[in-house]
Structure 1
Amino acid sequence: MRWLLAIAALLFALAAPASAQGRFVEFDQPADIGQVHVTVWLPPGYDRDTKRRYPVLYMHDGQNVFFPKRSNFNKVWAADKAALKLIESRKVAPFMIVAVDHPGATRYLRYFPTRVVSGAFRQGIEGFAKGKLAGDDYLTFLAGTLKPEIDKRYRTRSQPRYTAVAGSSMGGLISLYALTERADVFGKAAAVSTHSPLIDPGLLGQQPAMAEGVKSDWRRYLSTRLGAPQGRRLWMDHGTETLDANYAPYQAVLDEGVAAAGWTRGTDFESRVYKGTAHEENAWAARLPEVLGWLLADWKK
């Protein structure tokens, strides 16, 4: 009998970590923008507590969120690990993560915040990128197709306060854009290593007039579209190495524009600089618990 109990205990110990880590569900979502692969992470306890409803964090570049083998650079955000750390420490209540794959070659077009630029500059970007800026189409997919599907399949808390969006680089841009353009859906956004120059910062360095034009477009956009926070929360950050080394002058314009719209730093929005960090997934994974700990701090129940 004793050896049977020992085997049972061993089997339980081997099985426990799987359920304790949550579980993944993957599916392909048909859409007007083309079929999109989606990975859902359900936190521990989702299958056990069938009455509980969960906030949801939507993340872009889904290939790089969970699984190194699917990632572009064999490194990931490890977002499920960051979520577990926050949940286990009771800093944030259990929540779901929905990772949305990028489309590959047309990623830049899909994640571009369309309304930020206009006129000849927009036409020039589309000509260089060889396609239509599709940020609005992507937001329509997220808000009008994917979110309703997630709300139908899972026990979510569907209000904007409990719906967050996060991404890095161009994914940071589209996250900020989602918070601005679809405040009826998204109440929180993390724009990590935000690609605030919008285009190649090396080109902007060679053309000061164009760089000033980007800053002017940001000022116009934020002053006319962002509005007062009204319960929304926004995190922005960047490093100081590799591509992130170019972001500070443009991020300063974003910080000023957000504050001018009535957002209070430390309460409604945060903007951080991570000295010595580069534009890559390991750096983002390292600070993700801090990012989400601040952004999702009111997800307590």
Structure 2
Amino acid sequence: MVLCCVLATNAQSQIETVELSNAEISSGKILRISKFPSKYITPRTVDIWLPKGYSKSKKYAVLYMHDGQMLFDASATWNHQEWMVDEVASELMNSHKTKDFIVVGIHNISETRYADLFPQNTIDYLSTEDKSAFLTHAKTDKPDLIFKGNDYLKYLVEEIKPYIDSRFSTLKDKNNSVVAGSSMGGLMSWYAICEYPEIFGGAICMSTHWPGADPELNGPFPVAFLKYIKAHMPNPESHKIYFDFGTKTLDKYYQKYEDDVNELFKSAGYTTTNFRNEKFEGADHSEASWQTRLHIPFTFLMSK
């Protein structure tokens, strides 16, 4: 399984990186750090996908993606689906439709995924009554639940990104640093660009879970999310953001927020050059759906 091994030392520990020789990918290679250390959250696996022909003589943009175990190899995922990131990215780079980029996939931990990817500071945009009710319900449902969205972002910004920039040939500026995810990962992606607009110049938010919880409850989070975004809107002159949604399964609950999201960004000065919110008729909430349209946000955010 291990083709090569690179050891790097940081202030906390020694980081071991191995190449996955048995990963079922079509192009490039995956380097894996099994437990990327952190002083903020539970360490987890981080995969680094390098395109075919990766060279230290070139500089690469970086795409940071949540739910990293779902990106490359369907044979290793729980539902036998994948985003097909290596296939899509390779085709776009080979056809010169995008700049060259590498992909960093941060795996989730299923037991804490909701709390890790929830936009933590938006809780303060709830009314006092709604905030109390939500936190009480959350603790009752999961007594050990601790919201870690802010710490997850510190993990990404203060620990993972510096490592990637130090070990790989990357373009470090925000114009070449994009964050991406779907569902809860879609929430975390716009939250990341709002919290760290100096770090990330772009966000891909596919099938964004605007309800924030059970969509059938018609809870208060969509309003709180939009209030938060309005108060922390990234500068449209230097940022791009992409949203989309389908019309089946869980995605069918998202269309009703489309107009409010569009108006929010339009009123902030965003146009079709730096903002998109696309509807995909018949698409459901799955990796199989996201892979079919992944080329659209990749081209939009990673264009030369």
TM-score after normalising by structure 1: 0.85
Task: Check conservation: 1:197, 1:250, Cα contact below 8 A.
Answer: no
Q: Show the counterpart of 1:82.
A: 88
Hey, what does 1:104 align to over in structure 2?
Answer: 110
- Structure 1 counterpart of 2:184: 170
Distance 1:43 1:125 in 2: 45
Q: Percent identity?
A: 33
Q: 2:135 aligns with which of 123, 129, 140?
A: 123
Distance in 1 (CA, whole Å) between partners of 2:29 and 2:211 is 37
Deviation of residue 218 (structure 1)? 2.6
Aligned to 1:241: 248
Q: Secondary structure at the match of 2:197?
A: coil
In the other structure, the counterpart of 2:32 is 26
1:141 to 145, 155, 160: 155
Match of 2:262 in 1: 255
Equivalent position amino acid for 1:226 in 2: M
Comparing both structures, which one devotes a greater share of its residues to helix? 1
* Cα distance, 1:125–1:100 mapped onto 2, change above 3 Å: farther
Which residue number corresponds to residue 119 of structure 2?
113
Letter in 1 for 2:161: K
Q: Following the alignment from structure 1 to structure 2, what is the Cα–Cα distance between the partners of residues 222 and 96? A: 28
Q: Equivalences for 1:50-65 in 2 at 5 Å?
A: 50-65=56-71
Length-normalised TM-score, structure 2: 0.85
Consecutive unaligned residues in structure 1, runs of 5 or more = 1-17, 205-209
Report what 1:268 is aligned to.
Answer: 274
Q: Equivalents in 2 of 1:194, 1:113: separation in Å?
A: 12
Q: Report the number of matched residues.
A: 271
Q: CA deviation at 1:108?
A: 0.6
**1:196 matched residue in structure 2:** 210
SS for the counterpart of 2:111 is coil
1:244-263 deviation line (CA, Å, top 9, x unaligned): 00011223322222222221
Shift in alpha-carbon separation, 1:132–1:279, aligned structure 2, 3 A: same
**Would the alpha carbon gap of residues 117 and 91 (structure 1) be closer, same or farther in structure 2, given more than 3 Å must change?**
same
In 2 relative to 1, CA 93–158 (structure 1 residues): closer, same or farther, beyond 3 Å? same
The separation in 1 between residues aligned to 2:132 and 2:184, in whole angstroms, is 21
Q: Comparing both structures, which one devotes a greater share of its residues to strand?
A: 2
